[in-house]
Chain A
Amino acid sequence: AQTVTQSQPEMSVQEAETVTLSCTYDTSESDYYLFWYKQPPSRQMILVIRQEAYKQQNATENRFSVNFQKAAKSFSLKISDSQLGDAAMYFCAFVLTGTASKLTFGTGTRLQVTL
């Protein structure tokens, strides 16, 4: 079974600064997707960024980027120029391709953004 581990229950960052959220996963498969989802106080799940395992290039979306280390099974999220609206729970998630497509979520990291 696949597992996703987020070792940082809470993180804090000052506005305009950069923060990195950690995620590791465990799988014996080679074809999969990785995601970072944001869950603000409204509790609506919002896709932040996704990465296909076969792509070596790290995905980026504006202020959000990932550091995907396939051999180390690591998938960290970097948020640059943090904004107050970035405060939320962040979940790392994993799905194997060609399967029932069930997402496996990590335990989440609560990000606080301070002035």
Chain B
Amino acid sequence: GAVVSQHPSWVICKSGTSVKIECRSLDFQATTMFWYRQFPKQSLMLMATSNEGSKATYEQGVEKDKFLINHASLTLSTLTVTSAHPEDSSFYICSARVRSTNYGYTFGSGTRLTVV
């Protein structure tokens, strides 16, 4: 149980275009979703926390206008990378806290974004 489905698993886009990444909780309600960015051989860096029905909370240094997060329902959160540039190329991972467990977290399988 407690699965988060993340799509797409990889995407290549042209510089200047926007890309949307979706994370769906399949068998539970994800009231809170966390979005991470991971550079090669590095740790996960938290970008933002989204709560269903409210604005996301961004970590310091993360551009709100570039990384748009929407959490309109209890089962879907999206991250849109707007006007993507090559430096936005990275691995993006979503994660949800599973409230039926004591501080259990489940992670999406990640999205590899390449901007050319």
Contact = CB atoms under 8 A, between A and B. Distances in A.
Contacts, number: 46
B116 interface: no
A95 interface: yes
Given A47-B105, A95-B103, A103 B43 contact: no
Interface residues of B, number: 21
Nearest to B45: A105
B89 interface: no
B107 A45 contact: yes
Interface of A is mostly: loop
Contacts of A103: 34, 46, 95, 105
B34 A45 contact: no
A52 B32 CA distance: 21
Interface of B: 32, 34, 38, 41-44, 46, 49, 57, 91, 93, 95, 97, 102-105, 107, 109-110
Given A106-B43, A110-B41, 13 more contacts: A33-B103, A43-B38, A45-B107, A47-B104, A47-B105, A50-B104, A52-B102, A100-B32, A101-B103, A102-B46, A102-B49, A103-B105, A108-B42
